[in-house]
Chains A and B, each alone.
Chain A
Amino acid sequence: MSERLLEVEDLFVEFRTRDGIAKVLNGVTYHVNAGETLAVLGESGSGKSVTAQAIMGILDVPPAVVTGGEIRYHGENLLAVNEERRNEVRAEGIAMVFQDALSALNPVYTVGFQIEEQLRVRLGMSRKDSRARTIELLDLVRIPNAARRVRQYPHEFSGGMRQRAMIAMSLALDPEMLIADEPTTALDVTVQAQIMDLLKEIQVERQMGLVLITHDLGVVAEVADRIAVMYAGRIVEHADAASLYRNPGHPYTAALMDSLPRLDQKGTTLNTIKGLPPSLLNIPPGCPFHPRCSMATDRCTAEVPSDHGLGFGRTSKCHFAEELVSRV
């Protein structure tokens, strides 16, 4: 039984803005075990990145405020510890990789400098040792000519290589867990596949826990063990990858799958999900998805659905979850 590394329980986060209070996270619960990949799937504004930032403790506070819940790392509630302990966990326990490596890396320092500073400042390594180790890390992520690349600046790398460099940086302190926030969104399709392969390989080798945040169903299919689908700041469905694809248990997931263009549908109109995600300043009552749901009834406008267990650890927040799943 693999070790449970991270547990997010019932997390609530609000953003205090000039126009009102945005309820960004409304009871998010998920967990990650060592050696497995959890994909967090959702549209922009669903709260997937905010959850990750809350885990890392890098939310902009204010305007963000954590109003409830726990984030447990090896059982320790990170929201209840002091900043020093929080900082220890960063990059050493849980590391994070961001979407756009060009803006996520500091443009005025070399890539080598930015990786080495982890080793020198946090591990106290010497300059020589940290340089050698940095080159090893760049080799690990398959950046050719690592010894030369170490002295180059982020803008001198191609998109894919930059992302690899960022991954190398995140591995510098041998973290147990990696959160990748849309790591391939800014890249070409072929490069996307390479990066995903790389992540998977690293994960298996180190038996790391991996949280993969994305909006792209296609990317997720190969890599994820479990998938958590987010909408309006809550996890609306949670299942193992195979079951989710075969048999979605929530209308939103079903609609997402439906909207993927497929070769055998050539010549027909693309399916879309009508409407827009709700404004988090003003979430609809009842089930937040009901304005866009083809199955919505009166009950859906009044009653917020709770988790319906669908067996084998599957859950879905829909009043009609069981019906949906039993359709073939």
Chain B
Amino acid sequence: MGRYVLRRLLQLVPVFVGTTFLIYILVWAVPGNPFTGMCGERPCPPEFVAAMTEKYNLDDSVVVQYLKYMGTLLSGDFGQTYAEQPVSELISNAAPVSLRLALVAVVIEAIIGITAGVLTGLRGRGFLDNLVLVSTLVLIAIPTFVIGFVAQIVLGFQLEILNPTVSSDATWGELIVPGFVLGSLSMAYVSRLTRTSIAENKRADYMRTALAKGQPKRRIVGVHLLRNSAIPVITFLGTDIGNLMGGAIVTEGIFDIHGVGRLVYDGILDKQGAIVVGVVVVLVVVFLLVNLFIDLLYAVIDPRIRYE
């Protein structure tokens, strides 16, 4: 098992390098002046340009730039913004907020999605089934930002149940509605996935055996069916955490949440290369680690998978 983990970690390295290098190129190594607009309407003074070039190694080839950047990164230094703020500080302020948001989203989507999926998967065709199918279709069809807007308008402005935007504290309670919006698409998929998984496994041979053994119905569903059906759902939920952290730009924008999504979006528009690459590095690491974790979790749930 230990060797498997090691092997997988080694496999992650090229992917990590690949993704971060790709982003690095897209941010720093494109034709055009990286400093446009930084000094206002006028072009920047040559001393400024020289100092920046020096600081960000812009004279070196891309590969060297990248390596130097990664070098400092590994010592914990994410560099600085053009305004000389340490990027690591910005990230460490924003990351917990995004993490909380992602967790809220995953919990909500898991609870609602799995419940809906189990109920409809067991019962089959009927009113509830059609209701869930239709509502999941609707959630899939409407873009997240529209859902976000509607939620903000209806709940925030019209009914005034909540604050339309989230305070900079971003407490768990405040994050419930944004979390719901963020997770809405995934919630639809979780419920469909659960439903399909349960409906398929319902017909499995081992279910028939459990029936023939005279086990009580509740136990047959709760013990025999659930664990087998859970496997694909848990996999999906796990990878979703990684996705949601990186993909919350829209939701964070609508609800004014100061998470990494906003940070990186503003960084892109302001052309703060250090922020963008720094955030992406963090996100990729999180994503890869979460995937690895899910892989290992898979082996725990499904004993047929064992790694040497």
Contact = CB atoms under 8 A, between A and B. Distances in A.
Report A-B touching, CB under 8 Å: yes
Interface of A: 56, 58, 87-92, 95-96, 98, 100, 103-109, 117-118, 121-122, 153, 155, 166, 169, 173
B228 A106 contact: yes
7 contacts: A56-B211, A58-B211, A90-B212, A100-B205, A106-B228, A107-B303, A153-B303
B213 A118 contact: yes
B215 A117 contact: yes
B210 A106 contact: yes
Given A90-B213, A92-B214, 16 more contacts: A56-B211, A58-B208, A90-B214, A100-B205, A103-B206, A106-B206, A106-B210, A107-B228, A107-B303, A108-B303, A109-B227, A117-B215, A121-B215, A121-B219, A122-B214, A169-B213
Given A104-B206, A106-B224, A121-B219, A153 B214 contact: no
B153 interface: no
A108 B205 contact: no
Contacts of A58: 208, 211-212
Contacts of A88: 214
Query: 3 closest pairs, A vs B, by CB?
Result: A90-B214, A103-B205, A106-B206
Contacts of B89: none
Given A107-B303, A121-B219, A56 B206 contact: no
B59 interface: no
B228 A91 contact: no
Interface residues of B, number: 21
Interface string B289-302: 00000000000011
A89 B212 CA distance: 10
A100 B208 CA distance: 12
Contacts of A104: 205-206, 208-209
Contact of A98 (B205, B228, B302, B304): B205
B216 interface: yes
B204 interface: yes
B3 to A, nearest CB: 21
Contacts of B304: 107-108, 153, 155
B215 A105 contact: no
Centre residue among B206, B212, B224 by max chain A CB count within 10 A: B212
Given A107-B303, A108-B228, A155-B304, A91 B212 contact: yes
A121 B219 CA distance: 10
A90 to B, nearest CB: 3
Interface string B214-242: 11100100011001100000000000000
Interface in B158-216: 204-206, 208-216
Residue of A103, A104, A106, A118 ringed by the most chain B CB atoms within 10 A: A106
A27 B301 CA distance: 46
Contacts of B206: 103-107
Nearest to B215: A121
Contacts of B223: 109, 117
Contacts of B214: 87-92, 122, 173
Given A90-B214, A117-B215, A121-B215, A108 B209 contact: no
A106 B220 CA distance: 11
Contacts of B301: 108
Nearest to B208: A58
Nearest to A152: B303
Contacts of B216: 87, 121
Contacts of A173: 214
B63 to A, nearest CB: 48
Nearest to A156: B303
